[in-house]
Amino acid sequence: MTERLRFALFGAGNIGERHLRLAAAHSQCAVVALADPSDHSKKLAKEFSAQHFSDPNALLAEAKVDGAIIATPNDLHASIALDCIDAGIPVLVEKPITDTISSGEALVEAAKSQGVALAVGHHRRFDPVIEIAKELIDSGELGKLVAVECTWALRKHDSYYEAPWRTTRPSGGPALINLIHDLDLLRYLAGDIVKLYAQGGAIGRTHEVEDTLSVSLRFSTGAVGSVIASDATPSPWGWEQGTGENPEVPATGQPCFKLLGTEASLAIPTLELWRHTDRSNANWHHPLRSSLIPQSARESLQNQLTNFCGVVRGDHAPRVSGQDALHTLKAVDGIQQSLATDQPVNLV
């Protein structure tokens, strides 16, 4: 059996702990060193027999690792990832790649110039629903994609905002923390976002950052899109509720994306496909029928980890590269620009 890869984990919050537990159960890797100043991280390190460090630089100086997973607050992504790259260590950095365009560009350039692999944790691209949807679009099963609709809405608990970085620029706000996942999937399915216009702001809360957004999108394929996002409203519509992916969010099974094509339309994550019964009479005077496409177990984080193991071993490139993730970050930056100016923003 191939020896398990030795990974470092930076950050042991909610998503960091999930990475830790998934790695422990994975046949190809294990987290052997953990950097996080919290008392909880010390307990986790002991539970999983990993070296514990309060300082990331101490980990890099003392631990011998093959790869690194960075799951710290957004504003620390760039500095830690750059240090790992300088040390020649392949990196999987949680989304967003960084919290600013300039730091993201610097990170991508550093990885390229030093020849070190940089993967970004837009793990939903590994979800079986998204893989099926992508195949349906690419095969022409939906016809030409003309429009997409996305809703991401829920009410977060007040204690979530006790971490100051979640309520201030540039790291906070649901556009950067949450909606970036959905924007990445929309880019993956409908093409790069070339133009957008956003409205909203701090409507339901009193933070510096936005809590509610409406975004109009134009894609490179010619398709258009609309997005509603809010972290201040009770709602059954959103990726977490629809999929049950996040164990902290009760599942509702409701769709959050609608993909509208000239031949058929598809709801995600339910994979409910709608088309006219008689394709030769595909117009509004004739009946529609729906069918549910079977889907496999939802193991996107595990699949992403397996992919990263292959990246570290040099078997293949990351599914989501630093450059790819930078395009998604630029869409978030465009939203924030549009909110500030109340004007449309061109991204190309």
**pLDDT single digits (tens) 213-253:** 999 999 999 999 999 999 999 999 999 999 999 888 999 99
Q: For the residues 255-273, what does the mean pLDDT come to?
A: 97
CB count, 10 Å around CB of 199? 14
Comparing C-alpha atoms, which of 112, 118, 52 is closest to residue 84? 118
Dihedral sign of CA atoms 51, 56, 58, 64 in order:
positive
Q: Give how far Cα 175 sits from Cα of 61, 246, 348, Å.
A: 35, 18, 20
Question: What's the pTM value of the predicted model, to 2 decimals?
Answer: 0.92
Least confident of 56-60, 87-91, 119-123, 163-167: 163-167
Question: For residue 170, what pLDDT is reported?
Answer: 83
> Which domains can be identified in the chain, with CATH numbers?
5-124+301-319 (3.40.50.720), 127-297+330-346 (3.30.360.10)
- For the cut 90, the answer to whether the pLDDT of residue 270 exceeds it is yes
Separation CA 157–CA 172 (nearest Å) = 15
Tokens 């701090």, residue located:
202
**pLDDT single digits (tens) 94-129:** 999 999 999 999 999 999 999 999 999 999 999 999
